[in-house]
Amino acid sequence: MRLSTKAGWLLSAYAGAMIASGASAFAADDTIKVGILHSLSGTMAISETTLKDAMLMLIDEQNAKGGLLGKKLEAVVVDPASDWPLFAEKARGLIAQDKVSAVFGCWTSVSRKSVLPVFKELDSILFYPVQYEGEESERNVFYTGAAPNQQAIPAVDYLMGEGVERWVLEGTDYVYPRTTNKILEAYLQAKGVKPEDIKTNYTPFGFSDWQTEVSAIKEFGASGKKTAVVSTVNGDANVPFYKELANQGITAEQTPVMAFSVGEEELAGIDTKPLVGHLAAWNYFQSVETPENEAFIAKWKEFTKNDKRVTNDPMEAHYIGFNMWVKAVEKAGTIDPDAVIDAMVGVSVPNLTGGYASMGANHHITKPVLIGEIQDDGQFEVVYETPGLVLGDEWSDFLPESKPLIADWRAPMSCGNFNTATGKCGGAGTQAAAN
């Protein structure tokens, strides 16, 4: 297992026995409620609706195995409608009114940051399934998506190995792209890239008129140096972005695009033939050939009754997070949040790429990192994979204010931003990362 230097000692990975799947009688008129907090309308529905469906499938499967603690699981679905303040309101309703035991949800970092105060105030649990910018570790959150060292940094390393010297950092204008690009700018310059060889640009959510922006990318790439686009464009803005790339003749051979938020679901709405060869960095692709993945895909198509429905990386993150939660509840013998939070550290469950995901003391998990090339059928061909698993690094080694910080939610430390230089909890704090 390959871990970052400062995070290695945080991992408590114990491969426990699998939960027995024998049926048990459901307690009469008693269920365990599970919250699902994903946008089913608005700009992020293109990405989040499928995660709601994936959670319903996982809950149905667990009920078929006998439920949890002898009780049936009941899904409570709400639609925050891609409205970031509404995420907090809907989260409060799930916890305070519906009395859910845990919540699986959010996509954008701005939606996650919107709900954080609610989960801390009401002492509930959020499983967050999407790649994010790092610079955060909260007691009430388990981050099952990728931190920058599990996606952005390996992606840039791959492109450097392919001879890229000039960089366009193209993102949607909110915290995830801005913080990720701040890390990448520092990383690239530490690798010897000159500031004038880095171009950064942001557009609003739902942006559709890409002609000027793509023209600027084309002009920046005309210097003679091999240029790549690192894309943190989110949501339905990706559809017109890729269409305009094709319209202006930007090919993968000329200027490859490495996307962090485009997977199989987003490509389902695009003519992918002009995009063949462009790249994405994730921790899972539907095209991965393992028995676990084949079984998951078959169950997904059966559940949705649609052979054309695809799987993607955040779905696998929910698969991992949900199974970890089930295992931790069984381990704790209760759905009490404090007991489950303590039980989560060290829990290990199968992933879909043929290995195991383990929950670290920093509330991040171990993952492989995969680079995939877009194919004309909307799937990805894996062209690179890390030789081992990588533990998510919550605080970046490439930002001076974050470098000395670690997170360890086990007693006696129980701190999300412990400063190793001062020996005190409180470090730079999560608010510094939000600025």
**Does the pLDDT value for residue 352 go beyond 80?**
yes
Nearest to 365 by CA among 180, 192, 171, 141: 141
Which runs of consecutive H residues, i.e. helices, occur in 191-263? 211-220, 238-247
Q: Worst-scoring range by mean pLDDT, 26-40, 135-149, 244-258, 359-373? A: 26-40
What is the structure's pLDDT at 191? Answer: 97
Which two three-digit tokens encode residue 215? 């023209």
Q: Which residue has the tokens 């001076």?
A: 400
**Mean per-residue pLDDT, 103-108:** 97
Domains of the chain, by residue range, sit at: 8-147+288-368, 149-282
Q: Do domains 8-147+288-368 and 149-282 have the same CATH topology?
A: yes
CATH superfamily of the 149-282 domain: Response regulator (3.40.50.2300)
Contact assessment for residue 94 and residue 78, using Cβ atoms and an 8 Å cutoff: yes
- What are the respective helix, strand and coil percentages of the chain, to the nearest 5? 40, 20, 40
CATH among 3.30.110.30, 3.40.50.2300, 3.40.50.720, 3.40.1210.10 for 8-147+288-368: 3.40.50.2300
**Does the pLDDT value for residue 269 go beyond 90?**
no
What is the structure's pLDDT at 273? Answer: 86
Q: Which residue has the tokens 């490859």?
A: 256
pLDDT confidence of 9, banded at 50, 70, 90? very low
The residues that bridge with 390 in the sheet, in sequence order, are 367
**Mean per-residue pLDDT, 141-166:** 97
Nearest to 43 by CA among 170, 213, 233, 181: 233
pLDDT one-digit tens code per residue, 396-419: 999 999 999 999 999 999 999 999
Percent of the chain with pLDDT over 90: 87
